[in-house]
Each structure stands twice: as structure tokens, then as C-alpha cells.
């Protein structure tokens, strides 16, 4: 019986390459998919590309392929990644150069273009597309002139096209995370549009793998102390046949695969479990099962698929102002009171100087900066607190107002309550990029699959 | 009766999509699942989070996994990068949820 093993090599842009390298060498893989794109990553990449036309993709992927590209090619492990970001051809050229240097003759790089719809937006507006915000937030006309990027989430088909053309590696932009995993599975098993339960299995394989270590013991609330060897955490691997689906990991690495580790990832960023919408299929996991089936091996069952949605999700990034975050630390005695007083002084000063802001947040790290209203604080805790860090964050419409607060922070060491220590360096202004998710008709999108062969 | 943190009876994880946070909550012991379903009402969760969660909360049940999924809108202070919170992605919303105090029989 045909069996396909696919690994999740990267969970985000900036992830450790260690597990990906390990699974290529010891995971007995057929494929590995590497996810680099979170919701706002493309906006960041677009801004990098505007500064440097050669940037705008996840360079980490090229660095990873310098280590494992040759081994993967020789062992016929197909690699699929969305590392292309906002500069897919840039990523392809960089990878081709790496492959040339390693003498990988005949190495085929497939790539998919067409998810970047930025240039089409004016036409779509003219055609009556409303770009209504999926989260019922605001009016599109207010952000229309501030767009940074516009990328549509797409499904398996153009990736499969590259695989059919013999691609060893496929590079995309905004493929849906799970489509990178579904594509090779649907290609290997010959799943058709009507095989909706199978497509749904492929999506959930991707879902359990796309966050890398978070699917194998990382960020594990159930029993984080019980996760073996987190210093060499292995990432999850999905093993599928025509009628079975398991999650496991490579031998000789850390981490664990248990019912609980799979459960925590299973519903991660899922909303309605009976209608988990992807470009390829609407997945129903509302009656799914996860069963331990040996050490570091979990069987996944009863995943159902329903008709795919008529619309595709388009994510627009837009300029939404500026932000400054700054810190000052205070120690016992009266650490909290001193920090509060410093915040008070600062706010009075800024008011006098006429600083205009959209929003402000004052938090106390060590007390309530993470759990906010849910944090339990009482007089006894405050009295005994060894140290707190005052954190002030402001958001402004323009850069000028954001800059005003920066020179006022460090003087508080000498001009404010005692014992303040300024840390994290002088604050700087960062751009705020807003996210505008919307739905567009499928026929507004044309994707192209290409192959580049290294000679 | 005794008060315990939900953490002792359940585990879960939080994730983000824009300004929406979801927390999945699973019974540590399947025997407690029905009890948790009774206790963890939308109203109770809304009360627990207070002004941290500004929008609507929806609860979904996945009985086969002894779990529930809570989807909370306008829960991340505007979401990344709009949010001025330290935890813009709500990575700690899961543990904040587990801080809820639950009344149980003394033997627990």
C-alpha cells in the first residue's frame, strides 16, 4: 500500500532550522513543507522589497537549502515552501544559484505567481468590488489610499501543477499554509475534487504540521515539563495511506507526539470546527478523533470534507500610523508605585507639550502586562514586588507625534522617582500596518505555475 | 466545595486571526468534560475576561476530543500590529483563560 510521509520543516519566518535538517536526514520523508508566512509577514516583506528590490522573500529558506538542498535532491524529498513571499522570482534565483554552486544538475524549481493582486485593485474597485472587511471593521474607502500589499490565499492546484512537471522544490507566495501539504498528498494519491474527505485529511495533515514544533511538544500547556529534550525538538511528520492518517516524528530527536499535543494544535486558530474554510475544501473536524497508536504516534480519524467556498480570502495590508514602545525598570521598595508615578510624570509632560495620539497603553511587566484584567494583584503582592518594568506604548497618526515621547524617557532616570533603569536602548518609531481581510470571487485570480531547471 | 484554577482540570492553547482570539480548552480527564461543559458557559467566559475581550464570544463543542473552542472577537486590542499590548498575538490568552476559578467538590 502506498504510504507518503511529509514533514513540517518550519513554523514561521525566523524558526530554527535544526528540526528541518534532522527530519531530512532521519525522517524517512517523501516531502517536507516549510511555512514562513503569518498574517502580516507579506506586508513586512513588501516593505523590505521597496527598500531593496532583491529582498522581500524569506532568505532563511535559502540558508536552509544550502545545508539540506543537495541531500533532499539526492534522496528525492520534494520541498514545498511559501518562502517566496513578495519576491518569488528573487527567491527562485537565489535558490537556483545555491543549486548551481552545489552542482545539482537537472534540479527543477517550480514556482507559482499571481497571488499578488496589488496592481489589480483599482480595476476591481471599478468593477464594483467592495472589499468589505470580514471582521466588520471600518470602511474600505478609508484605507484605499494606504495599501501596502494585497495577496490572495490560494489552494493546492498550481503547486500540484509544478509537481506534475517534475519540480523538486516548489516556491510560492501566499499559498494557504495547509495547501502546501495537501498539494503533494493529493498529487501522490490522485485525489480528485470530489474526494472531499481525502482533501480534508490532507488539509488537517497540513494544519497539524504547519506550525512546526508547536505540533510536537512546543508551546505545550498540558505538560510542558514532560516534553523530552526540547533543546533538540523534532517537528511533526504526517504519514498517510489511502485509508489511514498518523502524526509522528523522526527518531532520535526531542519533543513528543501524544493525543494532548495533537489536540492543542488541532484547534489552533480554527474557528467553527464544523466549517474550517480553506481554498480547497471546507473541513469538518467536529467529530474527529485522535488516538494514541504507539510511542510518538497518533492516529487521526473521522475528518470530513464539504464543498469548497465560492470566494477566496484576500489579505490587504495598509499603513495605519506609527508606534513607539519604551521601557523603564524599578526595584523594591515601592517598585510598582514608582513606576506608576513615572508614567504619571511622563503623561503630564506630554500633555503640556501637546502630543497627539490615537491610543496609549501603560503596563507593568512582572505584574499584569500579559494577563491584563485577569491578572491577580493584591496589596501584599504589590508590597513584596522585587521589581517591575514600566512599559509605555503609544500609537499616533503621524511620525512627528510619535517621536515626541522618545527623548522624554531616559531623563526619568535622573529626574524621576529613584532607581529607574532605562533599558532596551533608545526607543524608535515603527510603522503600524493594519490588516484588512476580505473575500473576492475566484475568477478575479489567475495563478501561473512555472519551472526553472538548473543546468 | 473548593475553588481550583481551571488549569488543574483543563489544558488548551490560544491562537490569533486579526483581532480575533481563539482558545481551545480540553478536559485533562475525560470524566470532567461534561462538568466543564456545564461550567464554561459563554457568559462565564465573558465575565472572566472582562474588558480584555470587547466582542462577541462563541463556543463550539467537539465531544469526540472532550474539548471546546472559544472564539472571541475584538479580543487582542486591535490585533497585530495595531495592538499596543505586549502580547499582540494573544499567546497568553490560553493561560489567562486557565486562570478562571472553578468551584468543585472537595475531593478534587
Rounded Cα–Cα distance for residues A201 and A305 (Å): 8
Report d(CA A440, CA A131) in Å as an integer.
8
Q: Is residue A142 part of a domain?
A: no
CB B64 within 8 A of CB B51: no
What is the CB-side half-sphere exposure of residue A439 using CA atoms within 13 A?
11
Q: Is A138 left (phi over 0), alpha (psi -120 to 50) or beta?
A: left
Give yes or no for A40 touching B (CB within 8 A).
yes
β-strands A276-277, A282-284 pairing: antiparallel
CA–CA distance, A237 with A254 (Å, rounded to integer)? 13
> E strand or H helix at A24, and its extent?
helix A18-26
Is position A375 within any domain? yes
The per-residue pLDDT of chain B, averaged, comes to 95
For residues A241 and A354, membership in a common domain is answered with no
Min Cα separation A272/chain B (Å): 7
* Residue in B6, B9, B16, B24 to test binding to A, most A beta-carbons within 10 Å: B24
Question: Is A426 a member of any domain?
Answer: yes
Residues A87 and A166 in one domain: yes
Based on the domain organization, do A203 and A257 belong to the same domain?
A: yes
Residues of chain B contacting A, Cβ within 8 Å: 11-13, 15-20, 22, 24, 26, 28, 48-52, 58, 60, 62-65, 67, 69, 71, 73, 77-82, 84-87, 91-92, 94-96, 98-99
Q: Say how far apart CA A316 and CA A436 lie, in whole Å.
A: 5
Query: What is the pLDDT, as a whole number, of residue B108?
Result: 47
Per DSSP, what are the bridge partners of residue B71? B22, B58
Q: Give me the residue from A269, A369, A432 closest to B81, CB to CB.
A: A432
Dihedral class, residue A307 (left if φ above 0, else alpha if ψ from -120 to 50, else beta):
beta
pLDDT given at position B81: 80
What pTM value is reported for the model?
0.96
Residue A362 contacts B where some CB pair is shorter than 8 Å: no
Please state whether the peptide bond connecting residue A333 to the residue before it is cis, i.e. omega within 30 degrees of 0: yes
Range 301-340 of A in CB contact (< 8 A) with B? 302, 320, 323, 325
The single residue listed with the C-alpha cell 470534507 is A305
Cβ atoms < 10 Å from Cβ of A49 = 18
CATH code for position A386: 3.30.70.360
A69 and A213 belong to one structural domain: yes
Which residue of chain B is at minimal alpha-carbon distance from A222?
Answer: B11
Q: How many domains does chain A have?
A: 2
pLDDT the model gives residue A186:
98
Provide φ and ψ at A47, rounded to 5°.
-70, -35
Predicted confidence at residue B37, as pLDDT, reads 98
> Do A215 and A304 sit in the same domain of this protein?
yes
CATH number at residue B41: 3.30.70
β-pair partners for B104: B2
Residue A376 counted as domain residue: yes
Residues in chain A: 455
C-alpha cell at B13: 492553547
Instruction: Tell which of A309, A340, A360 closes a domain.
Output: A309
Q: Provide the 10 A C-beta neighbour count for residue A308.
A: 19
Chain A residue at shortest CA distance from B15: A269
Block means of pLDDT (10 residues each) for chain A, 455 residues, are 97 98 98 95 93 96 98 98 98 98 97 97 94 87 95 98 98 98 98 98 98 98 98 98 97 98 97 98 98 98 98 96 96 97 97 96 96 95 96 96 95 94 88 94 96 96
Cα–Cα distances in angstroms (integers) from residue A288 to residues A157, A263, A284, B69, B74, in the given order: 26, 10, 8, 14, 29
Domain count within chain B: 1
Domain boundary among A289, A309, A329: A309
SS3 A31: strand
Distances (CA, A) of A306 to A195, A277, A300, A310: 9, 9, 18, 12
Contact B32, B8 (CB under 8 A): no
- In sequence order, what E strands does A96-235 have? 108-113, 147-152, 169-171
Q: What is the pLDDT of residue B107?
A: 63
Chain B residues within an 8 Å CB radius of A369: 85-87
Q: Is A135 part of any domain? A: no
Q: How far is CA A201 from CA A301, A404, B59, B91, B97, in A?
A: 9, 53, 24, 27, 30
Q: Is residue A140 in a domain?
A: no
Domain boundary at A255, A289, A309, which?
Answer: A309
Residue A46 and residue A178 share a domain: yes
| Check: complex ipTM more than 0.85 | yes
Residue A148's nearest CA partner among A434, A355, A397 is: A434
Q: Is residue A450 one of the residues assigned to a domain?
A: no
Residues A348 and A260 in one domain: no
CA A395, chain centre distance (Å): 24
Confidence (pLDDT) at A137:
75
A217 shares its domain with A305: yes
| Structural domain for A24, as ranges | 4-115+153-309
Residue-number span of the structural domain to which B21 is assigned: 2-104
Are B6 and B97 in contact by the 8 Å Cβ rule? The answer is: yes
Chain A: closest CA distance from residue B41 (Å): 17
With the CA atoms of A195, A197, A199 and A201 taken in that order, what torsion angle do they form, in degrees rounded to the nearest 10?
Answer: -150
What are the residue ranges of helices labelled H in B1-108? Answer: 33-39, 42-49, 93-98
CA distances from B71 to A286, B22, B58 (A): 15, 4, 5
| Beta carbons within 10 angstroms of residue A370's beta carbon | 19
> Among partner residues B18, B87, B95, which is closest to A221 by beta-carbon distance?
B95
From the CA of B56, how many Å to the nearest CA of chain A?
A: 11
Encode chain B (108 residues) as per-residue pLDDT tens digits.
899 999 999 999 999 999 999 999 999 999 999 999 999 999 999 999 999 999 999 999 999 999 999 999 999 998 878 899 999 999 999 999 999 999 998 764
Q: Which three cell numbers stand for residue A309?
A: 467556498
The Cα A149–Cα A240 span in angstroms is 36
Nearest to A373 among B16, B26, B50 (CB): B50
**Residue A317: left if φ>0, alpha if ψ -120 to 50, beta else—which one?**
beta
Chain B residues lying within 8 Å of A376, measured CB to CB:
99
Same domain, residue pair A297 and A338: no
CB-CB under 8 Å, A323 with B81 = yes
**CA–CA separation, A416 vs A409, rounded Å?**
10
Which three three-digit cell numbers place residue B103?
Answer: 468551584
Distance from CA of B108 to the nearest CA of A (A): 18
Domain assignment of residue A34, yes or no: yes
- Say whether both A364 and A302 belong to one domain: no
Residue A209 has phi, psi (to 5 degrees) of -110, -20
- Residues of chain A in contact with residue B80, where contact means CB-CB under 8 angstroms, are 39-40, 435
Number of H helices, E strands in chain A: 13, 19
Say if CB B24 and CB B67 are below 8 A apart.
yes
Residue A276, H or E segment: strand A276-277
Closest residue, chain A, to B45 (C-alpha): A374
Amino acid at each position: 500500500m502506498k504510504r507518503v510521509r511529509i514533514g513540517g520543516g518550519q513554523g514561521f519566518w525566523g524558526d530554527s532550522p535544526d528540526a528541518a535538517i534532522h527530519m531530512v536526514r532521519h525522517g524517512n520523508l517523501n516531502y517536507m513543507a516549510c511555512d514562513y508566512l503569518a498574517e502580516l509577514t507579506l506586508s513586512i516583506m513588501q516593505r523590505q522589497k521597496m527598500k531593496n528590490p532583491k529582498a522581500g522573500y524569506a532568505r532563511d529558506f535559502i540558508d536552509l537549502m544550502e545545508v539540506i538542498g543537495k541531500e533532499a535532491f539526492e534522496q528525492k524529498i520534494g520541498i514545498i515552501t511559501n518562502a517566496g513571499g513578495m519576491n518569488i522570482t528573487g527567491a527562485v534565483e537565489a535558490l537556483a544559484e545555491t543549486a548551481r554552486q552545489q552542482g545539482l544538475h537537472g534540479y527543477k524549481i517550480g514556482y507559482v505567481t499571481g497571488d499578488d493582486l496589488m496592481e489589480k485593485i483599482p480595476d476591481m474597485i471599478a468593477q464594483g468590488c467592495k472589499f468589505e472587511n470580514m471582521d466588520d471593521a471600518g470602511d474600505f474607502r478609508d484605507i484605499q489610499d494606504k495599501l501596502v500589499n494585497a495577496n490572495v490565499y490560494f489552494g493546492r492546484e498550481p503547486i500540484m501543477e509544478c509537481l506534475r512537471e517534475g519540480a523538486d522544490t516548489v516556491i510560492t507566495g501566499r499559498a494557504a499554509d495547509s495547501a502546501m501539504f495537501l498539494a503533494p498528498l493529493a498529487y501522490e494519491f490522485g485525489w480528485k475534487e470530489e474526494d472531499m474527505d481525502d482533501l480534508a485529511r490532507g488539509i488537517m495533515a497540513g494544519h497539524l504540521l504547519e506550525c512546526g514544533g508547536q505540533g510536537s511538544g512546543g508551546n505545550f500547556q498540558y505538560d510542558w515539563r514532560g516534553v523530552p529534550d526540547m533543546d533538540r525538538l523534532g517537528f511533526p511528520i504526517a504519514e498517510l495511506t489511502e485509508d489511514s492518517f498518523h502524526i509522528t516524528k523522526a527518531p532520535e530527536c526531542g519533543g513528543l507526539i501524544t493525543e494532548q499535543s495533537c489536540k492543542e494544535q488541532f484547534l489552533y486558530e480554527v474557528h467553527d470546527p464544523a466549517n474550517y474554510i480553506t481554498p480547497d475544501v471546507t473541513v469538518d473536524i467536529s467529530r474527529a478523533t485522535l488516538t494514541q497508536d504507539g510511542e510518538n504516534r497518533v492516529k487521526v480519524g473521522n475528518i470530513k470534507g464539504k464543498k469548497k467556498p465560492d470566494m477566496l480570502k484576500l489579505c490587504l495590508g495598509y499603513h495605519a500610523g506609527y508606534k513607539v514602545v519604551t521601557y523603564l525598570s524599578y526595584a523594591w521598595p515601592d517598585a510598582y508605585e514608582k513606576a506608576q508615578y513615572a508614567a504619571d510624570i511622563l503623561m503630564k509632560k506630554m500633555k503640556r507639550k501637546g502630543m497627539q495620539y490615537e491610543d496609549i497603553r501603560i503596563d507593568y511587566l512582572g505584574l499584569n502586562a500579559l494577563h491584563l484584567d485577569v491578572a491577580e494583584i493584591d496589596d501584599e503582592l504589590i508590597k513584596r514586588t522585587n521589581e517591575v518594568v514600566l512599559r509605555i506604548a503609544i500609537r499616533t497618526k503621524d511620525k512627528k507625534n510619535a517621536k515626541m515621547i522618545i527623548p522624554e524617557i531616559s531623563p526619568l532616570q535622573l529626574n524621576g522617582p529613584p532607581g529607574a533603569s532605562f533599558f532596551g536602548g533608545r526607543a524608535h518609531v515603527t510603522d503600524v500596518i493594519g490588516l484588512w481581510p476580505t473575500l473576492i470571487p475566484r475568477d478575479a485570480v489567475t495563478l501561473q505555475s512555472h519551472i526553472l531547471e538548473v543546468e | 466545595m473548593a475553588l481550583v484554577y481551571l488549569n488543574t482540570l483543563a489544558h488548551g492553547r490560544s491562537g490569533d486571526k486579526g483581532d480575533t482570539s481563539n482558545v481551545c480548552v480540553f478536559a485533562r480527564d475525560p470524566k470532567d468534560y461534561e462538568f466543564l461543559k456545564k461550567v464554561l458557559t459563554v457568559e462565564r467566559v465573558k465575565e472572566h475576561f472582562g474588558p480584555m475581550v470587547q466582542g462577541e464570544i462563541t463556543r463550539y463543542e467537539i465531544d469526540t476530543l472532550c474539548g471546546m473552542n472559544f472564539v472571541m472577537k475584538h479580543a487582542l486590542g486591535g490585533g497585530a500590529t495595531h495592538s499596543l499590548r505586549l502580547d499582540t498575538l494573544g499567546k497568553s490568552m490560553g493561560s489567562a483563560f486557565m486562570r478562571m476559578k472553578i468551584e468543585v467538590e472537595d475531593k478534587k
